[in-house]
Amino acid sequence: MKPRFKARVVLVTGAGSGIGEKAAVGFAREGATVAVNDLRPAKAAATVRKIERAGGKAFAVPGDVSDAATAASIVAAVEKRGRKLDILVNNAGTGIAGTVLNTSENDWDRLMRVNVKSMFLMSRAALPGMLRRRKGVIVNTASMVGVAAVKDRAAYTASKHAVVGLTRAMALDHVADGIRVNCICPGTTMTPWVTERVNESRDPKATMASMTARQPMGRLGTPQEIADGILYLASDQASFATGTALVVDGGFTA
């Protein structure tokens, strides 16, 4: 079977762990040259080493994608080294618990900056090159709470609804330009970030049991399962899909 991403250059943000790492490794396994972004340089470098040990091609472009100048410099560096950018995966994100009443203004602003503004900035930097070639793909990582809601996640839910909305707007704006824009909406996934939050809780065992109990499948998703959805949306197999919010949540929103 021909590798789906042979000769393509892919940039994955937040690729130092979890879903982003699995996606970066998957793209490289299927022939892409992968630019690995993470806020933490050591984490980006670790993913690059993992790809290279498996025989793939990758390079690190660490930095804060929620900063306009940094976002522009990351895309410029990728285009200079790869001579193009075929696929942008806006995966960097964070989360916080809280209602409107107990979410601080600083936490609200930080969540919107990381989860939404970063995607606006990275897409704005990547689109000119895609427009020149009249070809490109953008995949955004949203969440099941981008199409529904859960209790005690007001800011996070709002941010992920914004990601879905931004995805659909960009898809319509650029469908005639040969550019597809989609997003994936994962359910609760056993990433390192989720593991840390569970372990920080007062009763990690009870917290994990509660998270599992709300899943119709009786388990959390894996980073690989979500990464597989990202690769599908980025591939030519999804050539008729744009503006799509692909929900992969074990039946939570069914």
Enzyme catalytic residues: 156
Please give the distance of CA 100 from its chain centroid, rounded to a whole number.
25
What element of type H or E holds 39?
none
CA-nearest of 2, 175, 10 to 86 is 10
Residues 6+ apart with CB under 8 A from 83: 9
> Residue 14 has which token pair?
């937040």
Residue 83 DSSP SS3: coil
Q: Please, where are the H alpha helices in the chain?
A: 18-29, 41-53, 68-82, 105-112, 118-133, 154-174, 192-200, 204-213, 223-234
